[in-house]
Amino acid sequence: MSLLDPAELLAISLQCVDREFPYYLDHAVDQPMEFRRPADLHPSFFGCSDWHSAVHNHWLLIRLRREWPELEQIGAAQAILDRHLAPQALAAELAYFDNPYNAAFSRPYGWAWLLQVHAEALVAGDPHALRWAAALQPLRDEFAARLRVYFSTALQFPIRTGLHSNSAFALTFGIDTARSIGDRELETALVAASRRMFLADRDYPLILEPSGGDFLSPALTEAGLMATVLETAEFTEWFDDFLPSLRETEDSVPLLKPPAYVRDASDPATVHLNGLLLTKVWSLCRIAQRLAADDMRIPAIHESIRKHLDDAQDALDDRHYHATHWIPTFVVLAYAAVRAAGLDSPG
Protein backbone atom coordinates (compact mmCIF):
# COMPACT_ATOMS: atom_id res chain seq x y z
CA MET A 1 0.00 0.00 0.00
CA SER A 2 1.26 3.49 -0.85
CA LEU A 3 1.57 5.77 2.14
CA LEU A 4 -0.72 8.20 0.32
CA ASP A 5 -3.82 6.01 0.16
CA PRO A 6 -6.72 8.45 0.67
CA ALA A 7 -9.26 5.74 1.49
CA GLU A 8 -6.97 4.21 4.11
CA LEU A 9 -6.04 7.58 5.60
CA LEU A 10 -9.73 8.47 5.82
CA ALA A 11 -10.52 5.18 7.53
CA ILE A 12 -7.74 5.73 10.07
CA SER A 13 -8.88 9.26 10.85
CA LEU A 14 -12.49 8.18 11.23
CA GLN A 15 -11.36 5.62 13.80
CA CYS A 16 -9.94 8.34 16.04
CA VAL A 17 -12.01 11.53 15.74
CA ASP A 18 -14.89 9.95 17.69
CA ARG A 19 -12.65 7.84 19.96
CA GLU A 20 -12.56 9.43 23.39
CA PHE A 21 -10.05 7.10 25.05
CA PRO A 22 -7.12 6.79 25.50
CA TYR A 23 -6.74 10.54 25.94
CA TYR A 24 -3.91 12.72 27.23
CA LEU A 25 -5.84 15.29 29.24
CA ASP A 26 -3.92 18.55 29.64
CA HIS A 27 -6.34 20.45 31.83
CA ALA A 28 -5.88 22.98 34.64
CA VAL A 29 -7.97 22.25 37.73
CA ASP A 30 -8.71 25.30 39.89
CA GLN A 31 -11.21 23.84 42.35
CA PRO A 32 -11.98 20.45 43.93
CA MET A 33 -13.85 17.76 42.00
CA GLU A 34 -13.66 19.46 38.63
CA PHE A 35 -12.45 16.37 36.77
CA ARG A 36 -14.58 15.79 33.68
CA ARG A 37 -14.54 13.57 30.63
CA PRO A 38 -12.74 14.80 27.50
CA ALA A 39 -16.03 14.91 25.56
CA ASP A 40 -17.54 17.17 28.21
CA LEU A 41 -14.57 19.53 28.19
CA HIS A 42 -14.13 19.48 24.41
CA PRO A 43 -17.33 18.57 22.56
CA SER A 44 -15.68 19.22 19.18
CA PHE A 45 -12.13 17.97 19.73
CA PHE A 46 -12.27 15.12 22.25
CA GLY A 47 -10.83 12.33 20.08
CA CYS A 48 -7.47 11.37 18.61
CA SER A 49 -5.67 11.05 21.95
CA ASP A 50 -5.30 14.81 22.55
CA TRP A 51 -6.87 18.14 21.65
CA HIS A 52 -4.40 19.33 19.03
CA SER A 53 -4.46 15.99 17.19
CA ALA A 54 -8.25 16.09 17.16
CA VAL A 55 -8.08 19.56 15.63
CA HIS A 56 -5.77 18.61 12.80
CA ASN A 57 -7.68 15.40 12.10
CA HIS A 58 -10.70 17.59 11.36
CA TRP A 59 -8.50 19.45 8.88
CA LEU A 60 -7.61 16.08 7.38
CA LEU A 61 -11.26 15.06 7.00
CA ILE A 62 -12.14 18.33 5.26
CA ARG A 63 -9.10 18.08 2.96
CA LEU A 64 -9.82 14.44 2.02
CA ARG A 65 -13.46 15.30 1.39
CA ARG A 66 -12.42 18.18 -0.90
CA GLU A 67 -9.77 16.32 -2.88
CA TRP A 68 -11.31 12.83 -2.97
CA PRO A 69 -15.10 13.32 -2.76
CA GLU A 70 -15.71 9.91 -4.31
CA LEU A 71 -14.31 7.97 -1.33
CA GLU A 72 -16.76 5.48 0.12
CA GLN A 73 -16.62 6.83 3.67
CA ILE A 74 -16.85 10.53 2.82
CA GLY A 75 -20.48 10.56 3.97
CA ALA A 76 -19.40 9.32 7.39
CA ALA A 77 -16.74 12.03 7.55
CA GLN A 78 -19.28 14.70 6.66
CA ALA A 79 -21.68 13.49 9.35
CA ILE A 80 -18.95 13.69 11.99
CA LEU A 81 -17.91 17.14 10.81
CA ASP A 82 -21.52 18.31 10.97
CA ARG A 83 -21.68 17.20 14.62
CA HIS A 84 -18.27 18.27 15.81
CA LEU A 85 -18.22 21.61 13.99
CA ALA A 86 -21.72 22.61 15.01
CA PRO A 87 -22.03 26.12 16.50
CA GLN A 88 -23.00 24.90 19.97
CA ALA A 89 -20.04 22.52 20.22
CA LEU A 90 -17.57 25.14 19.01
CA ALA A 91 -19.03 27.74 21.37
CA ALA A 92 -18.14 25.38 24.24
CA GLU A 93 -14.60 25.07 22.86
CA LEU A 94 -14.30 28.85 22.80
CA ALA A 95 -15.68 29.17 26.33
CA TYR A 96 -12.99 26.78 27.56
CA PHE A 97 -10.42 29.52 26.93
CA ASP A 98 -12.29 32.02 29.11
CA ASN A 99 -10.73 30.37 32.15
CA PRO A 100 -7.41 32.20 32.72
CA TYR A 101 -5.79 28.90 33.73
CA ASN A 102 -6.50 27.62 30.20
CA ALA A 103 -5.39 30.79 28.42
CA ALA A 104 -2.25 29.16 27.00
CA PHE A 105 -3.78 25.74 26.40
CA SER A 106 -2.34 24.19 23.21
CA ARG A 107 -0.49 27.40 22.31
CA PRO A 108 0.68 27.88 19.60
CA TYR A 109 0.43 24.51 17.82
CA GLY A 110 -3.24 23.73 18.34
CA TRP A 111 -4.20 27.35 17.64
CA ALA A 112 -2.32 27.34 14.34
CA TRP A 113 -3.98 24.09 13.31
CA LEU A 114 -7.42 25.52 14.15
CA LEU A 115 -6.70 28.35 11.73
CA GLN A 116 -5.89 25.72 9.12
CA VAL A 117 -9.21 23.93 9.73
CA HIS A 118 -11.12 27.16 9.20
CA ALA A 119 -9.16 28.07 6.06
CA GLU A 120 -9.60 24.57 4.61
CA ALA A 121 -13.37 24.79 5.11
CA LEU A 122 -13.43 28.13 3.28
CA VAL A 123 -11.38 26.69 0.42
CA ALA A 124 -13.76 23.74 0.13
CA GLY A 125 -16.53 26.28 -0.34
CA ASP A 126 -19.58 24.00 -0.55
CA PRO A 127 -22.62 24.64 1.67
CA HIS A 128 -21.60 22.15 4.35
CA ALA A 129 -18.02 23.45 4.49
CA LEU A 130 -19.15 27.08 4.60
CA ARG A 131 -21.39 26.26 7.58
CA TRP A 132 -18.38 24.72 9.33
CA ALA A 133 -16.28 27.78 8.51
CA ALA A 134 -18.95 30.11 9.89
CA ALA A 135 -19.20 28.08 13.10
CA LEU A 136 -15.40 28.04 13.40
CA GLN A 137 -15.09 31.78 12.81
CA PRO A 138 -15.37 32.97 16.46
CA LEU A 139 -12.76 30.46 17.65
CA ARG A 140 -10.57 31.22 14.65
CA ASP A 141 -10.76 34.96 15.30
CA GLU A 142 -9.94 34.46 18.99
CA PHE A 143 -6.86 32.41 18.18
CA ALA A 144 -5.76 34.82 15.45
CA ALA A 145 -5.93 37.69 17.94
CA ARG A 146 -4.09 35.70 20.59
CA LEU A 147 -1.39 34.66 18.12
CA ARG A 148 -0.86 38.30 17.11
CA VAL A 149 -0.29 39.26 20.74
CA TYR A 150 1.77 36.18 21.54
CA PHE A 151 4.21 36.60 18.68
CA SER A 152 4.27 40.39 18.57
CA THR A 153 4.72 41.22 22.24
CA ALA A 154 4.53 38.26 24.64
CA LEU A 155 7.20 36.02 23.10
CA GLN A 156 10.52 37.84 23.12
CA PHE A 157 12.64 34.90 21.94
CA PRO A 158 11.67 32.10 19.53
CA ILE A 159 11.14 28.56 20.76
CA ARG A 160 13.35 26.34 18.62
CA THR A 161 12.30 22.88 19.78
CA GLY A 162 11.36 20.03 17.45
CA LEU A 163 8.05 19.65 19.25
CA HIS A 164 4.67 21.37 19.45
CA SER A 165 5.83 24.68 20.91
CA ASN A 166 8.10 25.39 17.91
CA SER A 167 7.59 29.03 16.96
CA ALA A 168 8.48 28.74 13.27
CA PHE A 169 5.89 26.02 12.62
CA ALA A 170 3.01 28.04 14.06
CA LEU A 171 4.19 31.21 12.32
CA THR A 172 4.27 29.41 8.97
CA PHE A 173 0.74 28.08 9.42
CA GLY A 174 -0.50 31.45 10.63
CA ILE A 175 0.97 33.30 7.64
CA ASP A 176 -0.31 30.68 5.19
CA THR A 177 -3.86 30.90 6.49
CA ALA A 178 -3.79 34.70 6.76
CA ARG A 179 -2.78 34.94 3.13
CA SER A 180 -5.34 32.39 2.00
CA ILE A 181 -8.27 34.29 3.56
CA GLY A 182 -6.92 37.84 3.17
CA ASP A 183 -6.28 38.60 6.85
CA ARG A 184 -3.69 41.32 6.30
CA GLU A 185 -3.52 42.29 9.98
CA LEU A 186 -2.50 38.79 11.03
CA GLU A 187 -0.12 38.36 8.10
CA THR A 188 1.64 41.66 8.79
CA ALA A 189 2.07 40.90 12.49
CA LEU A 190 3.39 37.38 11.94
CA VAL A 191 5.75 38.36 9.12
CA ALA A 192 7.19 41.11 11.32
CA ALA A 193 7.60 38.64 14.21
CA SER A 194 9.33 36.14 11.92
CA ARG A 195 11.82 38.71 10.72
CA ARG A 196 12.47 39.95 14.26
CA MET A 197 13.07 36.48 15.64
CA PHE A 198 14.94 34.75 12.84
CA LEU A 199 16.42 37.16 10.29
CA ALA A 200 19.74 37.50 12.13
CA ASP A 201 20.30 33.74 12.55
CA ARG A 202 23.62 32.41 11.26
CA ASP A 203 25.49 29.10 11.20
CA TYR A 204 22.85 26.79 12.61
CA PRO A 205 24.57 24.06 14.72
CA LEU A 206 23.65 20.86 12.86
CA ILE A 207 24.92 18.70 15.72
CA LEU A 208 21.65 19.49 17.53
CA GLU A 209 19.55 17.43 15.11
CA PRO A 210 17.79 15.15 15.34
CA SER A 211 16.68 14.85 18.93
CA GLY A 212 15.17 11.50 19.83
CA GLY A 213 11.65 12.86 20.20
CA ASP A 214 11.45 15.38 17.36
CA PHE A 215 8.67 15.46 14.82
CA LEU A 216 9.97 18.75 13.41
CA SER A 217 13.43 19.75 12.26
CA PRO A 218 14.03 23.09 14.00
CA ALA A 219 16.49 24.12 11.29
CA LEU A 220 14.35 23.19 8.30
CA THR A 221 11.13 24.43 9.88
CA GLU A 222 12.77 27.81 10.43
CA ALA A 223 14.14 27.82 6.88
CA GLY A 224 10.71 26.91 5.54
CA LEU A 225 9.23 29.83 7.45
CA MET A 226 11.79 32.26 6.06
CA ALA A 227 11.14 30.89 2.57
CA THR A 228 7.52 31.89 3.19
CA VAL A 229 8.40 35.34 4.50
CA LEU A 230 11.26 36.44 2.22
CA GLU A 231 11.52 36.90 -1.54
CA THR A 232 14.06 34.80 -3.45
CA ALA A 233 17.05 37.16 -3.35
CA GLU A 234 16.75 37.96 0.36
CA PHE A 235 15.98 34.35 1.25
CA THR A 236 18.96 33.05 -0.71
CA GLU A 237 21.30 35.41 1.13
CA TRP A 238 19.78 34.44 4.49
CA PHE A 239 19.89 30.71 3.67
CA ASP A 240 23.56 30.95 2.64
CA ASP A 241 24.39 32.25 6.10
CA PHE A 242 21.97 30.09 8.09
CA LEU A 243 22.97 26.70 6.62
CA PRO A 244 26.28 27.28 4.84
CA SER A 245 27.06 23.55 4.84
CA LEU A 246 24.27 22.94 2.33
CA ARG A 247 26.63 24.26 -0.31
CA GLU A 248 28.67 21.09 0.18
CA THR A 249 27.84 17.70 -1.30
CA GLU A 250 24.75 15.94 -0.01
CA ASP A 251 26.73 13.15 1.68
CA SER A 252 28.45 15.66 3.93
CA VAL A 253 25.20 17.22 5.17
CA PRO A 254 23.48 15.03 7.81
CA LEU A 255 20.44 17.33 7.79
CA LEU A 256 19.57 16.14 4.28
CA LYS A 257 19.67 12.48 5.26
CA PRO A 258 16.74 10.58 6.79
CA PRO A 259 17.62 9.80 10.43
CA ALA A 260 18.59 6.22 11.23
CA TYR A 261 16.65 4.90 14.21
CA VAL A 262 14.91 1.80 15.54
CA ARG A 263 11.23 2.01 14.62
CA ASP A 264 8.90 1.67 17.59
CA ALA A 265 5.37 2.93 17.02
CA SER A 266 4.42 1.96 20.56
CA ASP A 267 6.71 4.62 22.01
CA PRO A 268 5.14 8.09 21.88
CA ALA A 269 8.53 9.81 21.59
CA THR A 270 10.24 7.49 19.12
CA VAL A 271 7.23 7.48 16.82
CA HIS A 272 7.69 11.24 16.43
CA LEU A 273 10.66 10.41 14.21
CA ASN A 274 8.26 8.77 11.74
CA GLY A 275 6.52 12.12 11.49
CA LEU A 276 9.87 13.92 11.25
CA LEU A 277 10.46 12.24 7.90
CA LEU A 278 7.27 13.84 6.61
CA THR A 279 7.67 17.30 8.10
CA LYS A 280 11.20 17.52 6.71
CA VAL A 281 9.67 16.88 3.28
CA TRP A 282 7.17 19.70 3.91
CA SER A 283 9.92 22.12 4.87
CA LEU A 284 12.35 21.09 2.13
CA CYS A 285 9.66 21.60 -0.52
CA ARG A 286 9.04 25.14 0.71
CA ILE A 287 12.77 25.87 0.60
CA ALA A 288 13.18 24.44 -2.89
CA GLN A 289 10.27 26.50 -4.18
CA ARG A 290 11.77 29.75 -2.92
CA LEU A 291 15.32 29.22 -4.21
CA ALA A 292 16.09 30.20 -7.80
CA ALA A 293 15.63 27.35 -10.27
CA ASP A 294 19.35 27.25 -11.05
CA ASP A 295 20.48 27.24 -7.41
CA MET A 296 23.20 24.63 -6.96
CA ARG A 297 21.47 23.19 -3.87
CA ILE A 298 18.24 22.27 -5.65
CA PRO A 299 19.30 18.78 -6.87
CA ALA A 300 20.49 17.74 -3.40
CA ILE A 301 17.29 19.08 -1.80
CA HIS A 302 15.11 17.24 -4.31
CA GLU A 303 17.04 14.02 -3.73
CA SER A 304 16.63 14.50 0.02
CA ILE A 305 12.87 14.89 -0.41
CA ARG A 306 12.70 11.63 -2.34
CA LYS A 307 14.80 9.78 0.25
CA HIS A 308 12.69 11.02 3.15
CA LEU A 309 9.49 9.98 1.39
CA ASP A 310 10.98 6.55 0.63
CA ASP A 311 11.91 6.08 4.28
CA ALA A 312 8.46 7.21 5.40
CA GLN A 313 6.60 4.57 3.41
CA ASP A 314 6.31 2.26 6.42
CA ALA A 315 5.38 5.00 8.89
CA LEU A 316 1.92 3.52 9.40
CA ASP A 317 2.73 -0.18 8.99
CA ASP A 318 2.50 -0.79 12.73
CA ARG A 319 -1.03 0.41 13.42
CA HIS A 320 -0.36 1.49 16.97
CA TYR A 321 -2.53 4.36 18.17
CA HIS A 322 0.57 6.39 19.08
CA ALA A 323 1.13 6.68 15.33
CA THR A 324 -2.28 6.47 13.75
CA HIS A 325 -3.89 9.25 15.77
CA TRP A 326 -1.68 11.92 14.14
CA ILE A 327 0.63 10.76 11.34
CA PRO A 328 -2.04 10.56 8.57
CA THR A 329 -2.39 14.35 8.75
CA PHE A 330 1.30 14.78 8.05
CA VAL A 331 1.19 12.30 5.19
CA VAL A 332 -1.29 14.54 3.39
CA LEU A 333 0.65 17.68 4.36
CA ALA A 334 3.89 16.26 2.93
CA TYR A 335 2.39 15.03 -0.32
CA ALA A 336 0.57 18.32 -0.85
CA ALA A 337 3.93 20.09 -0.52
CA VAL A 338 5.49 17.70 -3.01
CA ARG A 339 2.72 18.42 -5.52
CA ALA A 340 3.04 22.17 -4.97
CA ALA A 341 6.78 21.88 -5.65
CA GLY A 342 6.09 20.02 -8.90
CA LEU A 343 7.97 16.88 -7.84
CA ASP A 344 7.28 13.22 -8.42
CA SER A 345 6.79 11.10 -5.33
CA PRO A 346 7.01 7.40 -4.44
CA GLY A 347 3.87 5.31 -4.42
Reduced 3-state DSSP string for the chain: CCCCCHHHHHHHHHHHHCCCCCCCCCCCCCCCCCCCCHHHHCCCCCCCCCHHHHHHHHHHHHHHHHHCCCCCCHHHHHHHHHHHCCHHHHHHHHHHCCCHHHCCCCCCHHHHHHHHHHHHHHHHCCHHHHHHHHHHHHHHHHHHHHHHHHHHHHCCCCCCCCCCCCHHHHHHHHHHHHHHHCCHHHHHHHHHHHHHHHCCCCCCCHHHCCCCCCCCCHHHHHHHHHHHHCCHHHHHHHHHHHCHHHHCCHHHCHHHCCCCCCCCCCCCCCCHHHHHHHHHHHHHHHHHHHCCCCCCCHHHHHHHHHHHHHHHCCCCCCCCHHHHCCHHHHHHHHHHHHHHCCCCCCC
Examine residue 33 and state whether it is found in any structural domain, yes or no: no
Sign of the CA dihedral with 217 first, then 223, 229, and 232 last: negative
Examine residue 209 and state whether it is found in any structural domain, yes or no: yes
Q: What is the reported pLDDT for 1?
A: 44
Amino acid at 110: G
Question: What's the predicted TM-score (pTM) here?
Answer: 0.97
Examine residue 86 and state whether it is found in any structural domain, yes or no: no
Report d(CA 232, CA 230) in Å as an integer: 7
Examine residue 297 and state whether it is found in any structural domain, yes or no: yes
Examine residue 301 and state whether it is found in any structural domain, yes or no: yes
Report d(CA 278, CA 327) in Å as an integer: 9
Largest CA distance in the chain: 64
Examine residue 346 and state whether it is found in any structural domain, yes or no: yes
Domain of residue 203, residue span: 199-347
Count of domains forming the chain: 1
Examine residue 261 and state whether it is found in any structural domain, yes or no: yes
Examine residue 238 and state whether it is found in any structural domain, yes or no: yes
pLDDT in tens, the chain (347 residues): 479 999 999 999 999 999 999 999 999 888 886 788 999 999 999 999 999 999 999 999 999 999 999 999 999 999 999 999 999 999 999 999 999 999 999 999 999 999 999 999 999 999 999 999 999 999 999 999 999 999 999 999 999 999 999 999 999 999 999 999 999 999 999 999 999 999 999 999 999 999 999 999 999 999 999 999 999 999 999 999 999 988 765 556 889 999 999 999 999 999 999 999 999 999 999 999 999 999 999 999 999 999 999 999 999 999 999 999 999 999 999 999 999 999 976 54
